[in-house]
Amino acid sequence: MNNPIVLFFIHDPANPGKDEKYGASASASASATRQHRSSRHVSSHSRRDNGKKNKKHGSPTTPRDWPVSKVKKVGWVPARNIHGFCYSVLRAATRKFSKENIIGEGGFGRMYIGYINPDSMRAAKPDTGKAIAIKVLGRRGIQSDEQWQNELRFLNKSNHPNVVKLMGYCCERHHRIVVYEYMCNGSLDAHLLRELNWNRRIKIAIGVARAIAYLHNCTRPVIHRDLKSSNVLLDADFNPKLSYFGLARHGPLEDQSHVSTRILGTRGYFAPEYFTTGHLTVKADVYSFGVVLLEIFSACVAIRRCTDGTKSDLAIWAKPHLSNHLELHNIIDKKIARNINIEEAHKFASIVGQCLRSDPKDRPTMGEVLASLEQLQQDMVLSNLNTLVPFKYHRRCTHTLKS
């Protein structure tokens, strides 16, 4: 008598509803189950032995060191070329996750600076080791695990100078950690509070545009979905690198106009069509980038609570001023107003306005936005800086950044 067929599914968190279906005979399934239990029993002893060695020598873990049950629970097997850090190594690298090592904090958890030996990948002292950024997820749950897996999946595939480099991960017991290259100048939003000259702001805008254009031009476009100034990191030379891919997802296929998804991201950066319908395209990133450009131009936050208790969006407030050259003085950051040529200000405002158009079909592609910014940068080199924008400093902007 023929053995019945047993169906089982493998869930891909990045494509909910697209679970892959596989079949096997009942006898084969039972045999695989026995082998799985046997291997799990044997590996548990070896893990205890390896655990003692790891604690003693601080050696990193690899995917093959993972417990079978752990991989099954997470639902994702890491690529072999991503370095798996042992939790004890990261704990030692951050001085037991000391408060003094915290360099960032948010809804995701905390970001620490740590130091490792790049050859052995073991913990090192600050004066001898290489600095790394260690993001420890603070919340646990299905959604949190999916975002952790999502970030590793997309960053592992990315290879661009303006996308932050993935150094490794840790998935040990309940810990979910991502390890990146360390960006010594922190995030863009923090620098908008300080002195950041106009040329440097244009350089940052172009770098971010290159990163997004790279994602959108992949074989299957990648939509970042959480583009904002706090997710733009700066290295020692103020080269920007796009970070946090926890909400990223693939864009629509050629025969699709959009993908429908949960509305996730940060208010103030949402494209209107995505916020109202859940329909997602690459043009949603273009809108979010327009908000980032507006932050760069004005040093204002994307959204804030007003004195009357209501919340207001920077993009909605600024749109009328962007199209009226006489009103630009209400938007521009006074720290850079004296150093901007009037024509440059108008061109930049025009680029911002195009990105913030309500209809996604009317927005330019990221390739077109990038070309416009690069042309503006070339014009700045050739321009006559004697003609300056006659901005006044009585801005009516109510979105000023606060430290």
Catalytic residues: 226
Strand segments, DSSP code E, in 237-337 are: 240-242, 249-250, 259-260, 279-280, 303-305, 311-313
- In sequence order, the β-bridge partners of residue 163 are 242
The number of CA neighbours under 13 Å toward the Cβ of 81 is 6
- In sequence order, the β-bridge partners of residue 234 are 240
**Residue 168: is it exposed, middle or buried by C-beta count within 10 angstroms (0-12/13-18/19+)?**
buried
3-state secondary structure 231-254: HEEECCCCCEEECCCCCCEECCCC
Question: DSSP class of residue 181?
Answer: E
Going by C-alpha positions, the residue among 103, 292, 316 that lies closest to residue 192 is: 292
Report the C-alpha gap between 52 and 68 in whole angstroms. Answer: 19
Q: How many helices (H) and strands (E) does the chain have?
A: 11, 15
Written as six digits, the tokens of 31 are 């045999």
Report the C-alpha gap between 54 and 123 in whole angstroms. Answer: 12
End-to-end CA distance of the chain: 75
Report the C-alpha gap between 328 and 390 in whole angstroms. Answer: 10
Report the C-alpha gap between 130 and 181 in whole angstroms. Answer: 9
- In sequence order, the β-bridge partners of residue 25 are 5
Report the C-alpha gap between 369 and 227 in whole angstroms. Answer: 15
CB–CB of 398/304 below 8 Å? Answer: yes
Going by C-alpha positions, the residue among 313, 317, 368, 379 that lies closest to residue 345 is: 379
